[in-house]
Structure 1
Amino acid sequence: MAANGKDTTGSAAPVVAALDAVSVRRYTTGQVILDDIDWTVRSGEHWALLGANGAGKTTMLRLIGALMHPTTGSVEVLGHRLGRVDVRELRAHIGLVSSAQKIPQDATGHTVVLTGHTGTVQPLWRKYDDEVRERAHALLAELEIKELADRAFGVCSGGQRARILVARALMADPSLLLLDEPFNALDLPSREDLIDAMHRLATTRSSLATITVTHHLEELSPAIGHVLLLKEGRVLTSGGAEDVLTAERMTECFGRPIEVSRHEGRWLARSGRR
């Protein structure tokens, strides 16, 4: 399958997530958080979800992660429509990485990855046979952090913790991986290590689809081929990264002049002169 989410015959890849005329409103105030959202993510596609604070990015991710339901419209994830499926079972097949996840600080890297098998915060030791334990070790090796297997999560660096959480999310062998600001508070070397790891995953797992929420274009790996710009709860534009990540569209999205450049597959955005 090609990096653009199409197979070699040219037919469309399977849909892993689809939002159709989705709106979300707060019941208490009637505030519109998302308004008439249409979006389709296919197998093997790697999306960036961008927008200013309050644009609705986290709500979009929560919908696709089966953590909430829309007020109107339909959300289908991995072939199941929200409202017609046990969301607990569905979540077991969706990988989620977030810096806000609550992880026991004294748990070892291997133990943290193991909990991805059961989708729990605390380990359920009786659920982890030798095969599951070996899979956790293999994922740590795949993320190039096998030396963290016996190290307490709390003493790992930010970048190391981020890669442990990616390994944890992959324990369920998900078709869809959601990354909610995974680069939050990482220093430059840690950021680059995580970007490299995500690029390798995109290369080695051809059917895996990813959605990354971030505030900085510099945090996007060269594997990101699609971008959705969200502004005030509505889709401003979406499509191929080269078509969406332009100075004109980024300026419209963020409400100030923005210059966009690209070097060796990596993007950079900075405030332009008024």
Structure 2
Amino acid sequence: MSADPVLRVEDVDVVRDGNPILREISLTVRAGEHWAMLGANGAGKSTLLSLLGALAHPTRGIVEVLGHRLGRVDMRQLRSYVGHVNPRHDLRSPLKVEDVVLTGLTNTIERVPRWKPTPRQVADADRLIALLGLSDRHSARWPTLSQGERGRALIARALMPSPQLLLLDEPATGLDVAGREQLIERIDTLQHTYPDLASVLVTHHLEELPPGTTHVMLLRDGRCLASGPSDEVLTSDQVSKCFDHPILLTRVDGRWSVRANRPARPQVG
């Protein structure tokens, strides 16, 4: 496992139209670590993920992605080495699952005209489709896929260039319970299949965290409330502060669950 960080964020601020979105954020992600960024809506999670994915520049501070400092590197080229999974994938054509996955090689949403993958690339796509549990949907077209199937296809697509870093932006958005559990199971499989792959997952639902989550950053109002190993950061007290609500956090078989931590009702009689 490499000692060099896959991501390094140092004292980063993001200001838009005079409004601070992120303030004094620092983060280091190394190979094989699986981070989750948690916080209420508006906490700054998606803004931070856009920096990690080389989609935006910080107002102040340092962001290094795969050893390249933003502001000193071709952002478009750098993005081709990052597996970024966005559930709002704006695909308009009825592509087959295999074709959607293959677009991960060209870093485009649609198939590039006259581009033809090699037999090895097709085999890699088929392997990833199987790994994400979509073998029986291999030739299904995009409009016919469920939301959960689309999410897993997009993860396979993101893995096609063999990235060192996988970014997951609220991957369980819009999924029912079955779809969510299938997705989490496959993400957990990836973490065992690619031991050196680093990942960052953004969510505001602790139930969506895979069991293999190693580290967590809690964001509140654009600031880091806590950051570090998941077992140290994910406590009832800190999660309650993060979401500004009394929460009782439990973990069973590697999965987290939450409920409101209300005072016990007085006994009557």
Q: Which runs of 5+ in 1 are unaligned?
A: 1-6
Which SS does the other structure have where 2:115 is aligned?
helix
Report the TM-score when normalising by structure 2: 0.95
Residue number among 161, 166, 182 corresponding to 1:177 in the alignment:
166
C-alpha RMSD over aligned residues: 1.2
Residue equivalent to 1:3: none
Residue equivalent to 1:4: none
Contact 1:21 1:38 in 2 (8 A): yes
Using the TM superposition, give the Cα deviation of residue 159 of structure 1 relative to its aligned residue in structure 2, in angstroms: 1.2
Residue number among 100, 116, 122 corresponding to 2:88 in the alignment:
100
Counterpart amino acid of 2:235?
Answer: T
Residue equivalent to 1:150: 139
Residue number among 121, 142, 149 corresponding to 1:132 in the alignment:
121
Q: Which runs of 5+ in 2 are unaligned?
A: 264-269
Alignment of 1:111 with 2:90, yes or no, is no
Alignment of 1:222 with 2:174, yes or no, is no
Report the TM-score when normalising by structure 1: 0.93
Q: Give the number of equivalent residue pairs.
A: 262
Q: Which has the larger radius of gyration?
A: 2
Residue number among 130, 138, 151 corresponding to 1:141 in the alignment:
130
Counterpart amino acid of 1:87?
Answer: M
Using the TM superposition, give the Cα deviation of residue 147 of structure 1 relative to its aligned residue in structure 2, in angstroms: 1.8
Which SS does the other structure have where 2:249 is aligned?
strand
Q: Deviations over 1:60-80 (max 9, x none)?
A: 000000000000001000010
Counterpart amino acid of 2:128?
Answer: L
Using the TM superposition, give the Cα deviation of residue 248 of structure 1 relative to its aligned residue in structure 2, in angstroms: 0.5
Partner Cα separation in structure 2 for residue 182 and residue 166 of structure 1: 9
Using the TM superposition, give the Cα deviation of residue 270 of structure 1 relative to its aligned residue in structure 2, in angstroms: 1.6
Q: Deviations over 1:203-245 (max 9, x none)?
A: 1100000111111111111100110000101100101111111
Query: Percent of aligned pairs with the same residue?
Result: 47
Using the TM superposition, give the Cα deviation of residue 127 of structure 1 relative to its aligned residue in structure 2, in angstroms: 4.5
Contact 2:98 2:125 in 1 (8 A): yes
Residue equivalent to 1:54: 42
Partner Cα separation in structure 1 for residue 138 and residue 121 of structure 2: 14
Contact 1:118 1:127 in 2 (8 A): no
